[in-house]
Structure 1
Amino acid sequence: MSVIPPIDLTEQFRAIQSDVNAAVAEVLASGQYINGPAVATFAQAFGNYVGSEHCIVCNSGTDALYLALRALNIGPGDEVITSPFTFIATAEAISAAGATPVFVDIDPDTFNLDVAKLEAAIGDRTRAIMPVHLFGRPVDMGPVMDLAARYDLTVIEDCAQATGAKWMEQQVGRIGTIGCFSFFPTKNLGGCGDGGALTTNDDSLAATARMLQEHGSRIKYHHEAIGINSRLDSVQAAILAIKLRHLDTWNQQREQVAERYHRLLAPVNEVIRPLPVTFGRSVWNQYTLRLPQATADNQERNQVQQLMREAGVVCMVYYPLPLHLQPVYRHLGYQPGDLPQTEAVAHQVLSLPMFPELGEAAQLQVVQTLKNALTQVGLKAAQYC
């Protein structure tokens, strides 16, 4: 039985193996493993890709978010509005900077922040909005930027899952005050380890972020702030520079995979497919369905996932416990039922295998396996699609 994984990086590597091997060998031969020319070359190329004047590459997407907050002088006593339906790194960075995350419910059709609910969450302590372009889908940034201008707030875009996505004709990461990216291997632009980047058009913020990532130092052995050590190593930079050349092609292939899923799943009334983006471009880091008849104990959804795994199709469940209900955030006082759309989605979502090289035959297997699992579990047709 052939197993279809949620993501397969091996075929991608085979396609670029000779270029990667040569680039890595060049870095190793140079002896410049930290802050070498490969890092500067990639930072310039990635900044150009996003369309930002400054690109500061760092150790991870989490560090990018933390450095952005620190560069903006957001800390104790401040609040940052963000999504409860995302990886904890988003809120974790806010907390690590000393600020408080304020969670706003999501739109169940997009899994992104419900922009209509943002204004009600703005208070006297609000300093920033941190929208998350989840699963490769851009947030509708127009209302976000309008609110930020009206209330004098900064906007930190969490683009970890959305490199190459567009709102209108603009790349995510250049719309807000700062964009933050992850190069974790499973991302659309993924390295062979951790990595991240900040993008901004603000000269002062860029200079401060660079200072903070180098132990709070602009001049060696002179430290003006408590910073961190967060650098992208030269080997990762060299690999990412090669992958960046292929990113648009890979994202186009992801779009083709998503279109095939749309078509193949059209007759499957037990699921709700992701909606198309009407104001930009999704790059489909994930293809995530909803099983609207699944109950809050996660039993049916988890049964479907297990049956598919046993049949050789590995699906993922992302964020089964929303951030506002995580034990670490119990002190914020959120209760079950406070963010109902987020809580409903958390026990409905199921992400199908998604990677650029996924072919139609494999997708047919995925969809047939899903149909069989839905029948075995006995989930009914969706009440709405």
Structure 2
Amino acid sequence: MNIPMVDLKQQYHALKHDIDQALEKVLESTHFILGPNVQAFEQEAAAYLGVKHAIACASGTDALHLALRAAGIGAGDEVITPAFTFIATAEAISYVGATPVFVDIDPRTFNLDPTLIEAAITPRTRALLPVHLFGQPADLSPIKELCAKHNLLLIEDCAQSFGAAHGGRMTGSLGLAGCFSFFPSKNLGCYGDGGLVTTNDDGLARELLVLRNHGSRERYHHAVIGYNSRLDEMQAAILRVKLKHIDEYNRLRRRNAHLYNDGLKGLCLTTPHEDGKGVHVFHQYTLLIEGRDRVQKALSDAGIASAIYYPIPLHRQEVYRELMAGVSLPVTEQVAERVLSLPMFPELSPEQIRRICQVIAGAL
């Protein structure tokens, strides 16, 4: 039984009629850039997420970059963020000339530890950039209090948390801006790259619209140096079809996570933590496990995929090593040595999950 990390083909086949029809309409219209599907998707996503504005762009990385730039963050500024995340989080901070300041994570949620943030705040700190990692909402209540106390901006990295909620509100609606990715394997994914910035701030929304389209407020009139960061019509059409199903997809991910939890009970490992403060949507199902290499080999020998997200924390990456010399993040470093992500997608079957659990039990 071969089991992949993600099976996009099953989802496509289930939606094939609607997706093919939506793409055919785009092709017949020959309107491929910033057309009616982009506008409709932005409106539908804003309504779903409970925000005033949703501005589509070319990727999740661009969403972070544009949000930071539109917020006025630049050279000489510091942005506090975790080192246990994908490079794009810190990369976007560097793009605008600011400095990422890495703070350690909570050992259970793998998200930014709110109790450690204040000690990292300096006169140069402009923003906090928490990540809702693996679909687990970050604990934003104390983080928002710190933002208010120190007059800092809150920008959410929601690349892995579409449909997750904290305190009854969707991630992406709780800060100045929320930044989403529609990479194909995401909970809501297109068939290429795509991104979205959400905000309730009218001025920020206007700036984002200008920045994503070559700094132009009026065609061939360019007020600032902007970017070519536009979600294309075909990807928007696909996302509109899939958005209708996102709640069911996330329900099935949560079901699968709980099936994993039951199947792995009593083994020498730690299953994902849910803190009860929000809704975890399990973009990844990630264990903490000793003997990771042995378990991963057993899974591979059985035809079962697994992955390590993330093996090298950002403060240990070559690109940041000199800047972060002397920085110690003990929880981040310990977690990176022990994490193992198992197959997770809505169509994963109970039978497949039982098989995965059996192989892990055998390896341990």
Q: TM-score, normalised by structure 2?
A: 0.99
Q: CA deviation at 1:186?
A: 0.7
Aligned match of 2:278: 280
Matched AA of 2:82:
S
Aligned match of 1:353: 343
Q: CA deviation at 1:278?
A: 1.1
Distance of 1:335 and 1:353 partners within structure 2: 36
Aligned match of 2:363: 373
Aligned match of 1:70: 69
SS at the partner of 2:340? strand
Distance of 1:7 and 1:347 partners within structure 2: 23
Matched AA of 2:152:
L
Distance of 2:176 and 2:356 partners within structure 1: 40
Matched AA of 2:239:
L
**Is it true that 1:318 corresponds to 2:301 in the alignment?**
no
SS at the partner of 1:332? coil
Distance of 2:98 and 2:47 partners within structure 1: 31
Aligned match of 2:320: 329
Distance of 2:217 and 2:297 partners within structure 1: 52
Q: CA deviation at 1:335?
A: 3.5
Whether the 8 Å contact between 2:2 and 2:303 is mirrored in structure 1 is yes
**Which whole-Å deviations, capped at 9, do the CAs of 1:308-337 have from their partners, x for residues lacking one?**
11111111101100001111002223337x
Whether the 8 Å contact between 1:59 and 1:231 is mirrored in structure 2 is yes
Question: Which residues in structure 2 correspond to 1:78-89 (within 5 Å)?
Answer: 78-89=77-88
SS at the partner of 1:303? helix
Q: CA deviation at 1:140?
A: 0.8
Q: CA deviation at 1:373?
A: 2.0
**Is it true that 1:100 corresponds to 2:115 in the alignment?**
no
Which structure 2 residue ranges, 5 or more long, are not aligned? none
Aligned match of 1:380: none
Aligned match of 2:294: 303
Distance of 1:104 and 1:150 partners within structure 2: 18
SS at the partner of 2:126? strand
Question: Which residues in structure 2 correspond to 1:226-305 (within 5 Å)?
Answer: 226-268=225-267, 270-291=268-289, 294=290, 300-305=291-296
Distance of 1:232 and 1:172 partners within structure 2: 21
Matched AA of 1:266:
K
SS at the partner of 1:46? helix
Distance of 2:248 and 2:332 partners within structure 1: 33
Aligned match of 1:55: 54
Aligned match of 1:33: 32
Percent identical residues: 52
Aligned match of 1:220: 219
Question: Which residues in structure 2 correspond to 1:203-218 (within 5 Å)?
Answer: 203-218=202-217
Considering only aligned residues, what root-mean-square deviation do their CA atoms show, in Å? 0.9
SS at the partner of 1:179? strand
Distance of 2:50 and 2:304 partners within structure 1: 38
SS at the partner of 2:117? helix
Q: CA deviation at 1:217?
A: 1.1
Distance of 2:212 and 2:333 partners within structure 1: 36
Distance of 1:211 and 1:272 partners within structure 2: 46
**Which whole-Å deviations, capped at 9, do the CAs of 1:268-318 have from their partners, x for residues lacking one?**
1x1011122310100000110001xx3xxxxx3223212211111111101
SS at the partner of 1:192? coil
Distance of 1:335 and 1:161 partners within structure 2: 30
Which structure 1 residue ranges, 5 or more long, are not aligned? 295-299, 375-385
Distance of 1:69 and 1:150 partners within structure 2: 20
Q: CA deviation at 1:88?
A: 0.2
Of 330, 335, 359, the match for 1:340:
330
Distance of 2:167 and 2:11 partners within structure 1: 29
Question: Which residues in structure 2 correspond to 1:109-120 (within 5 Å)?
Answer: 109-120=108-119
Distance of 1:353 and 1:333 partners within structure 2: 33
Distance of 1:205 and 1:276 partners within structure 2: 33
Whether the 8 Å contact between 1:325 and 1:335 is mirrored in structure 2 is no
Structure 1 segments, 4+ long, off by >6 Å, are none
Matched AA of 1:351:
S
Matched AA of 1:349:
V
Q: TM-score, normalised by structure 1?
A: 0.93
Distance of 2:28 and 2:119 partners within structure 1: 56
Whether the 8 Å contact between 1:80 and 1:128 is mirrored in structure 2 is yes
SS at the partner of 1:289? strand
Q: CA deviation at 1:85?
A: 0.3
Whether the 8 Å contact between 2:136 and 2:274 is mirrored in structure 1 is no
Distance of 1:215 and 1:334 partners within structure 2: 37
